[in-house]
Amino acid sequence: MFEKKTVQGAYFATAAFLFWGVVPVYFKWISHVSPLEIVSHRVIWSVVLLSAIISMTRSWATLRVSRRQLLTLVVTACLLSINWLLFIYAVLNNNIVETSLGYFINPLVSVLLGMIFLQERLRPLQWLAVSITAAGIAYQLLYYDRLPIIALSLAFSFGFYGLVRKNLALPALTGLMLETLIVCPLAILYLGWLAVKENLQFASVDLTTDLLLMTSGFVTSFPLLCFAAAITRLSLTAAGMFQYIAPTISLIIAVGWYGEPFGIDRIVTFSCIWLALLIFSAETIYHHRRLSRHAQLTSR
């Protein structure tokens, strides 16, 4: 049973991060729309899509939650909205490379959060990986005299989202529906304000823009449902292993397709992150194999 659950989690995680890897292309298609309007459409059309799914599955009763769960969902909804806005802002401002850096850092942030909040102990090589990552970020600070704020904000906002979401005993569909419902009134008010100011891009540019904005419900919901399903089936550490997929694809797209700069400063920083991830991955694989062998010996 445990093995089946883990395999399912791996499939869900792979689907989520493959999708997230190519999603910058989608946001480039609507780069003429402001980040806040895009986020608002993501929220509203997600509510529409998720409502349809819940209606088809007749699972409206699952939306009844306790006050404590609702307060937790307010936190996750805020974290998710911040992450969306930062990501879209970076993509529209030709900084996909920094979003990639943020999501490369994210697995190690997840490990740190697991250690701090879930009492997951770091082994020596894991500490080494975290230290090398810190060195890469410190190099950015010395080179630019500033921290990679967007990258760190993306890493920590999504890291905290995964941490809080993991401890929320709700189905993936229910959780995402409630998260989007919580921020939906604000999204509607903002779009209404844009319409009054005659700055609303929806229904005023072209049909392609309208269709792309409406599609944002699927673009938002599909990977998040997969991620939420994965995080409930995998440990925080195991889930972090799959997060290399999305930033790798995004980095290739940023440099190879959109021609974003990738100079010596970024090469040094990314090299530190990649080395840290290599050490972390190898150590994790070795550790799990050793535990598996130990379990087989003790079961005889």
pLDDT at position 142 is 79
Closest CA to 176 of 229, 253, 104: 229
Q: Determine what percent of the chain falls in helix, strand and coil, rounding each to the nearest 5.
A: 85, 0, 15
DSSP structural state of residue 233: T
Alpha helices in 58-171 (DSSP H): 67-92, 96-118, 124-144, 149-166
pLDDT at position 300 is 59
Half-sphere exposure of 250 (CA within 13 A, CB side): 29
pLDDT at position 43 is 95
Name, in order, each residue with C-beta under 8 angstroms of 49's C-beta and a sequence gap of 6 or more: 217, 218, 221
- Is residue 175 within 8 A of residue 124, CB to CB? The reply is no
pLDDT at position 211 is 96
Half-sphere exposure of 101 (CA within 13 A, CB side): 28
pLDDT at position 96 is 94
First CA to last CA across the chain, in angstroms? 20
- Is residue 13 within 8 A of residue 233, CB to CB? The reply is no
Conformation bin of residue 119: beta by default, left when phi > 0, alpha when psi is -120 to 50: left
pLDDT digits (tens, 9 = 90+) for 72-113: 999 999 999 999 999 999 999 999 999 998 888 887 788 788
d(CA 213, CA 202): 8
Conformation bin of residue 203: beta by default, left when phi > 0, alpha when psi is -120 to 50: left
Residues of the chain with pLDDT under 70: 1-4, 144-145, 236-238, 240-241, 288, 294-297, 299-300
Q: DSSP for 47-65, please give it.
A: HHHHHHHHHHHT-GGGG--
pLDDT digits (tens, 9 = 90+) for 222-257: 988 887 788 778 776 667 668 788 888 999 999 999
In single-letter form, the type of residue at position 115 comes to M
For 200, list phi and psi in degrees, rounded to 5.
Answer: -75, 125
